[in-house]
Amino acid sequence: MARTGAEAMYTFRKSPAKSVMFVVDYDDARRAYLWIDDPEKASDARFVEGMARTRQEQGTLPEGNITSIRRVR
């Protein structure tokens, strides 16, 4: 039997995002965004800094002097 009214609106639930988003600030006022898929590793500041440097070497984050990395969501 088909649902009607308010019940029909909530048949599909969006699962929460598993990735963690960071904003990377540079000394020349640029910003870039970094996503880490593992929430447990994202809570380790040293891991996040290392990942940012690795992604700079790979070219997925811009080159430059990183001044801060902050968690956004």
Q: Closest Cα to residue 26, out of 47, 57, 58, 53? A: 53
Rounded distance between C-alpha atoms, residue 5 and residue 10, angstroms: 10
Q: Give domain limits for the chain.
A: 17-71
Residue 3 has pLDDT above 70, yes or no: no
- pLDDT for 4 equals 59
pLDDT digits (tens, 9 = 90+) for 19-63: 999 999 999 999 999 999 999 999 999 999 999 999 999 999 999
For residue 64, the model assigns a pLDDT of 96
Confidence of residue 17 (pLDDT cuts 50, 70, 90): low
pLDDT-derived band at 2 (thresholds 50, 70, 90) equals: low
